[in-house]
Amino acid sequence: MAPAEKEHINVVVIGHVDSGKSTTTGHLIYKCGGIDKRTIDKFEQEAKELGKGSFKYAWVLDKLKAERERGITIDIALWKFETPKYMVTTVAFVPISGFNGDNMIEPSTNCPWYKGWEKESKVSGTHTGKTLLEAIDSIDRPERPDGKPLRLPLQDVYKIGGIGTVPVGRVETGKITPGQVITFAPAGVTTEVKSVEMHHQQLKEGKPGDNVGFNVKNVSVKEIRRGNVAGDAKNDPPLGAESFNAQVIVVNHPGQIGAGYAPVLDCHTAHIACKFAELLQKIDRRTGKSTEDNPKFIKSGDAAMVKLIPSKPMCVEPFTAYAPLGRFAVRDMRQTVAVGVIKEVTKAAAGGGKVTKSAVKAGAKK
């Protein structure tokens, strides 16, 4: 299958500290041809010099100096490799060795008790196999919201010599294409997309699930930042939120939460303090029905409708309209204290932001 014809799937690798997440993923990338042997040999030599010889595969992902010295993963990492069916950016039970490679690409002789896995899919029928690679290839492609307007939360913004400003992030809904006029919210900047790339390859369009970088003209890295959201300027462009109502469940708070509480909200790539301005209703977690209006406090185990006001400009959406931009975690005391979904948003007024010359020209052509 040619690379362009393969679907992209995103796989999350989870586990406790030192369970082998980075080692397994790095080894799989290497075995699938995503990185060459010379680079692995270089990592092995560098790891040995720090007395961490077993970390050679983990170092495919752990690129930060602090990570390598401490032996933990701090940043997020994104790598591409290919399986026979999918192009994967890295599950019936599969016993594996992330370091030695048992049952990753080929069946291992070291666990004769293991007879393989079987998985039933509503979409593609029954799958069987013995390896991690086969398990990944048995994953059904998730439904992608490509028919919706574009929403692309920014992960980072880079300034690249000879190219200019390059925002990067994952397309959550809709499509991004060269020549498209886009608006960044809540920054209010409108410009034209000059090119779209994924894994250093030019794309005709970026679709939901794609992690892309795109070049924009006449926009400084100081004007847009992580947490901003890009959208189609001509099709329901994103706007900043003045306030929003959300249904929250308090999962782990040592005391009581009342009006005025201002923790940090993690919503898509935004990380912004928001004030619980009003506690509107306490609700039954099972039925969603109100059990108390305007409660004074909520505590662990409670569900409630609340009004939130961001402390800085922020772009969010109702969960029913754009699900990835409508769910959040509430962080405080270095832990998740609540989770929530956004029901409605009071949006800031449109207009008044910067519109680049390239955006005006592109708009005049269409």
The answer to whether residue 331 sits within a structural domain is yes
Instruction: Give the integer Cα–Cα distance in Å for 61 and 51.
Output: 18
Say if residue 160 is in the same domain as residue 276: no
pLDDT, residue 77, reads 55
Helix (H, G, I), strand (E, B) or coil at 270: strand
- What average pLDDT does the segment 159-169 reach? 92
Say if residue 323 is in the same domain as residue 257: yes
Q: Does 205 or 47 have the greater pLDDT score?
A: 205
**pLDDT of 210 strictly over 70:** yes
Confidence of residue 352 (pLDDT cuts 50, 70, 90): low
Say if residue 209 is in the same domain as residue 251: no
We report the CATH number of the domain holding residue 181 as 2.40.30.10
The answer to whether residue 144 sits within a structural domain is no
Confidence of residue 360 (pLDDT cuts 50, 70, 90): confident
The answer to whether residue 365 sits within a structural domain is no
Strand 87-89 vs strand 8-10: parallel, antiparallel, or unpaired?
A: parallel
pLDDT, residue 62, reads 61
Give the domain extent around 180: 152-232
Say if residue 129 is in the same domain as residue 255: no
pLDDT of 27-68, one tens digit each?
A: 888 788 777 788 878 877 887 877 776 767 776 666 544 544
Q: Which residues contact 174 (CB under 8 A, 6 or more apart)?
A: 145, 146, 147, 148, 149, 150, 151, 152, 208, 231, 232, 235
**pLDDT of 246 strictly over 70:** yes
Q: Where does a domain end: 171, 205, 232? A: 232
**pLDDT of 14 strictly over 90:** no
The answer to whether residue 8 sits within a structural domain is yes
Give me the number of domains the chain comprises.
Answer: 3
Say if residue 176 is in the same domain as residue 99: no
Say if residue 250 is in the same domain as residue 206: no
Say if residue 29 is in the same domain as residue 129: yes
Is the CB of residue 257 less than 8 Å from the CB of residue 244? no
pLDDT of 291-339, one tens digit each?
A: 999 999 999 999 999 999 999 999 999 999 999 999 999 999 889 999 9
Say if residue 252 is in the same domain as residue 225: no
pLDDT of 78-118, one tens digit each?
A: 556 666 665 555 445 788 888 888 888 899 999 888 888 77
pLDDT, residue 82, reads 66
The answer to whether residue 360 sits within a structural domain is no
Say if residue 13 is in the same domain as residue 128: yes
Is the CB of residue 219 less than 8 Å from the CB of residue 165? yes
- What average pLDDT does the segment 165-176 reach? 96
Rg (CA), the chain: 23
